[in-house]
Structure 1
Amino acid sequence: MDEYTPKERLARALRGETVDRMPAISVTQTGTVEQMEACGAFWPEANEDAEKMAALAEAAHTVIGFEAVRVPFDITAEAEFFGCDIKAGTKEQQPSVVGHIVKSIEDVEKLKDYEINNGRVGVVCDAIKILAEKYGDELPIMASMLGPFSLAQHMNGDDWFMAIMTDEEFGFALMELTTEFNIAYAKKMVENGADTMVIIDPTASAMLIGDEFYQKFVVPAHKKIVDAMRELGVATVLHICGDTTPSLGLMESSGVDAISVDQNVDVATALSKVDRAVLVGNLDPVSALWKMTPEDIKKVSKGILESGVGLLGPGCGIVSKTPNANLQAMVEMAKSHKY
């Protein structure tokens, strides 16, 4: 079988095509303290400065061995872009959303005129350009963004879960704003060199809102993003937290190329729920990747690989204190796996 560059290998794997071996990647955030110490780029500055963001993303390749570079490291830049209050992160902790800005359709209307290059959203795009200029011919340039449903929840607060059930006009108006923003943001990241798009939509869970509302609010939004990316030749990966087993068919109906499943999902069962989407996952980022020894991680990885996962990776974002050796053990297992 032919050998491929990492860029070719991942593209083929996400399309379900034959490859020489499994790509070694993480579709979720890759930054850790040990990598920061190795490259000299630390949070929170690496969340706010394009050069430092690119340097820390590069460390996932040069230090850990991941066969892709990926930005950003947190999921708050989109909400900050629209004016939500953000609690600043630290070297070990990511920033979080603490204040919301949308209560009505009138509030939504006021946010429609925006410039996609502003704020940390613009920083992420600049970091992608830096990485693409250095690695774009060989490595996948993986971009990630908070998905439209979770962005709407950040903007509206916990009232959002009730709003979609009691005020559909408002719900659809806010989802239209966030979805169109996601498309514009994704296109800008692709323009700057991204070739793989990860949609992180943690609260867009059918387990939280039910199949009816997932079908009504989430599937159409994800499909619009996926369709826009497919027109540009960009593969898409969708990650939603929790046990998504019952809703994998709904998730796949958006047309995504791959679905990232977390540690609560049984991969063998999940495979029976999808027709064509590649499954990514699902090493526990806390009890396995952070807490276990490299040898134990290899054993757990072996079980996940034997269950038939399409791409081995973390079940959610990598914990910042995760040792390099543990991530390297996961990478070794992926690289040694023949389909």
Structure 2
Amino acid sequence: MVEYTPKERLARVFAREEVDRMPAICVTQTGTVEQMDACGAAWPEAHEDPELMAKLAEAGHTVVGWEAVRVPFDITAEAEFFGCGIKPSTRVQQPSVISHVINSADDLESHKDYDVTTGRIGEVLKAVKILADKYGEELPIIGSMIGPFSLAQHLTGDSWFMSIMTDEEFGLAVMDFTTEFSIKYALAQVENGADTFVIIDPTASYSLIGADFYKKFVVPFHAKLIDALHEKGVPSVLHICGDTTPGLSLMETCGVDAISVDQNVDMAAAVANVEKALIVGNLDPVSMLWNSGEENVAAIREESKKVLEAGVALLGPGCGTVSQTPTVNLQAMIEETKNWTY
């Protein structure tokens, strides 16, 4: 069988074509302290400086062994772009959203004049281009951002969940706003060299809002974003936290190419619950990948084999990699991935 480049191999997997083996990629955040020490680029600066961001993303390939490069490392840049308050990152902890800016339809109007090439998201675009210029012929260049539903929650605060239940007109207006932004930002990443895209929408949970609200406030907006990516020939991966098993058949109706599931999902059940979407995941990033020691490396190998045998399309962490995860643990999972043929 032909041996493909990492870029070719992943593209063929998304196209449901035969490959020599499984690609070794991570669709969720990849930064770790050991990579920071090895490459000299660390949080919090690597969240903001495009050169450092690209350097740390590159370490996921050169230090750990992932067969792709991916930015950014967090999901707060979009909320920061619109003026939300952000608790700064540390070397080991991600930034987080601490205040919100949208309370009414009038607030939406005041935020509609924006330029996606500015602010911290503009620095992400620069990092994508740096990586694409260096690795675009060989490796997948994975762009990523928070999904429109979770961005809506970042912008409005915890009142968002009550809003979609009691004020449908406002809820749909917010989703129109965040989806329009998401499309512009995603396509800007594509224009700068991203050839694969990951939508991280943690609060767009079927188990949290139920099927009816998911159909109304999530599916059509994910579909618009994914259609825009598909028009550019870019495959998409959707990650939503929690046990998404009951909602997988609904989630894939947006046309997404793959769904990343977390460690709470039984892999065999996930594979059985979709018709077209590939399933990605789902080693526990905390109890499995974060732990140290030779015995844990052996456990990672065994768990990887179980997930592979259950029919996963792409093996990886069930959520974002914990910053203090040992490199050797990730490499154990990667080695099992590279030894797997479909």
TM-score by structure 2 length?
A: 0.98
Aligned to 1:318: 321
Matched, 1:334 2:337: yes
Q: Is the Cα–Cα contact under 8 Å of residues 16 and 278 in structure 1 kept in the other structure?
A: no
Q: Distance in 1 between matches of 2:317 and 2:6?
A: 19
Give the partner amino acid of 2:229. M
Q: Deviations over 1:124-167 (max 9, x none)?
A: 00000000000000100000100000000000000000100100
Q: Distance in 2 between matches of 1:259 and 1:65?
A: 23
Matched, 1:268 2:271: no
Aligned to 2:132: 132
Aligned to 1:303: 306
Give the partner amino acid of 1:291. N
Q: Distance in 2 between matches of 1:12 and 1:219?
A: 26
Q: Distance in 2 between matches of 1:14 and 1:205?
A: 24
**Per-residue deviation, 1:3:** 1.3
Aligned to 2:216: 216
Q: Deviations over 1:41-63 (max 9, x none)?
A: 00000000000000000000000
Q: Distance in 2 between matches of 1:119 and 1:175?
A: 22
Aligned to 1:164: 164
Give the partner amino acid of 1:270. A
Q: Deviations over 1:231-255 (max 9, x none)?
A: 0000000000000000001110000
Aligned to 1:51: 51
TM-score by structure 1 length?
A: 0.99
Aligned to 2:7: 7
Report the RMSD for the aligned CA atoms in angstroms. 0.6
Q: Distance in 2 between matches of 1:17 and 1:164?
A: 40
Q: Deviations over 1:168-218 (max 9, x none)?
A: 111011100100000000010000000000000000001111100000010
Unaligned runs of 5+ in 1: none
Q: Distance in 2 between matches of 1:316 and 1:302?
A: 18
Q: Distance in 2 between matches of 1:296 and 1:67?
A: 23
Q: Is the Cα–Cα contact under 8 Å of residues 116 and 184 in structure 1 kept in the other structure?
A: yes
Q: Is the Cα–Cα contact under 8 Å of residues 204 and 218 in structure 1 kept in the other structure?
A: yes
Give the partner amino acid of 1:320. S
**Per-residue deviation, 1:15:** 2.3
Q: Distance in 1 between matches of 2:16 and 2:274?
A: 13
Q: Is the Cα–Cα contact under 8 Å of residues 58 and 131 in structure 1 kept in the other structure?
A: yes
Give the partner amino acid of 2:179. T
Q: Distance in 1 between matches of 2:327 and 2:211?
A: 39
Q: Deviations over 1:17-41 (max 9, x none)?
A: 2111000010000000000000000
Q: Distance in 1 between matches of 2:113 and 2:12?
A: 38
Q: Distance in 2 between matches of 1:164 and 1:185?
A: 24
Q: Distance in 2 between matches of 1:17 and 1:290?
A: 34
Q: Distance in 2 between matches of 1:15 and 1:161?
A: 36
Aligned to 1:63, the other structure's residue is in SS state helix
Aligned to 1:100: 100
Give the partner amino acid of 2:64. I
The count of aligned residue pairs is 339
- State percent identity of aligned pairs: 68
**Per-residue deviation, 1:86:** 0.1
Q: Deviations over 1:79-99 (max 9, x none)?
A: 000100000010000100000
Aligned to 2:297: 294
Q: How do residues 9-158 of structure 1 correspond to structure 2 at under 5 angstroms?
A: 9-158=9-158
Aligned to 2:144, the other structure's residue is in SS state strand
- Which aligned runs of 4 or more in structure 1 are off by greater than 6 angstroms? none
Aligned to 1:289, the other structure's residue is in SS state coil
